[in-house]
A = this chain, B = another copy of it.
Amino acid sequence: MKFEAVTIKDIAKALGLSTSTVSRALRDSYEISEETKQLVLKYAKEFNYRPNPSALGLKEKRTRSIGIVISEIANSFFSQAINGIESVANQRGYNVIITQTLESYEREVANMQFLSSRSVDGCLISVSTETNDFDHISDLYQKGFPVVCFDRVIDSLDTHKVIFDNFMGAYNATTHLIKSGYKNIAILSSIEYLSISKERLNGFKKALSDNDIPLHEDYLKHCAHGGMLYQEVEKAMDELMKLKVKPDAVFTSGDKLTTNFMRYCKTKKIAIPEKIAVIGFSNLDITELMSPSLSVVKQPAFEMGRVATDLLLNMIESKRTVTEFEHIVLPPEIIVRDSSARKK
């Protein structure tokens, strides 16, 4: 099928002008008479002229679009973040290309390659759980490809970063469990080397030590795929439930870990919070409707997307090389509901 849109050439031909005159008229140049401008503008509006993005991209060496690299769209945190990203990007005249890694390192490399090879002017990334080597990102960044990290950041990369206060979120959530009377608190965590995992784990540990509760290594479970697979959560929970002293509460340090924990308890008919209490990270907007209603640590995903995009666009549009980097930390929000009700 062919779909031919009107070009500057078409306008020029129709009006008996040169393309340069038309171009200048459209950009409201002082060199063009008011009369001609009106003529061109009227014609352009009538035939719905839009500049060809490919031509513009070729000429100006920029595409006015940015890329996003995230693990998956069908994750409430990320879809909310995307909304924040789009709101800023669209407002500033950029469009957005979203790519998913599904937590795969290989796909992350491929996506970065694709985005950097001139399809976008820069990108936002929240690295995949599988990613342990950041060369594919830092190499591009070193060469001048603008990258801003959010959520799951890369410590070694010297760029703008927008993160959630994972430490505080985990600390507050764990403290809440302790204050509610729970003592044997386990943690379901994502893979060790992930920045957010470390921070959340540290928050968890600090809350325990601040309350003079010893840390049992048995209570510390890592899930390599961040809870994406039910099986890994099942295995971790099975191990926890086989311990002599079972945990009486769990802090689930990721969205998928939280929901799969709930699924586990439902399947195994383990009463929450009677047998085991829980508070966990989640950005789902229906956690209040779960059984029981879920206590959560909620991340300001939309805001995160907004802030990160603003920083990225500033970086892209900056004339000189950026040398001072923002490191923005957004505050935690904790919502207490039935799943972590006071221990009887």
Contact = CB atoms under 8 A, between A and B. Distances in A.
A144 B1 contact: yes
Contact of A95 (B76, B114, B293): B114
Interface residues of A, number: 59
Contacts of A48: 113, 117
A57 interface: yes
Nearest to A139: B48
Contacts of A63: 53-54
Contacts of A76: 74
A145 B116 CA distance: 28
Contacts of A79: 73-74, 79
Query: How many monomers of this chain does the complex have?
Result: 2
A335 interface: no
B5 A117 contact: yes
A316 B116 contact: no
A58 B60 CA distance: 13
Contact of A288 (B5, B266, B315, B321): B266
Interface in A112-130: 113-114, 116-119, 122
A255 B67 CA distance: 29
A53 B50 CA distance: 19
A284 interface: yes
Interface of A: 1-5, 48, 50, 52-58, 63, 72-74, 76, 79-80, 82-83, 86, 95-98, 100, 113-114, 116-119, 122, 140, 143-146, 259, 262-263, 266, 284-286, 288-293, 315-316, 318, 321-322
Given A3-B145, A286-B262, A83 B100 contact: yes
B288 A286 contact: no
B86 A80 contact: no
Contacts of A98: 96, 98
A2 B263 CA distance: 49
Contact of A100 (B86, B118, B145): B86
Given A74-B80, A289-B291, A291-B292, 14 more contacts: A1-B144, A1-B315, A3-B140, A3-B144, A3-B145, A5-B117, A52-B58, A54-B54, A54-B58, A73-B83, A95-B97, A95-B114, A262-B289, A291-B293
B293 A50 contact: no
Nearest to A55: B58
A126 to B, nearest CB: 15
A292 B289 CA distance: 9
Nearest to A52: B118
A263 B72 CA distance: 27
A82 to B, nearest CB: 5
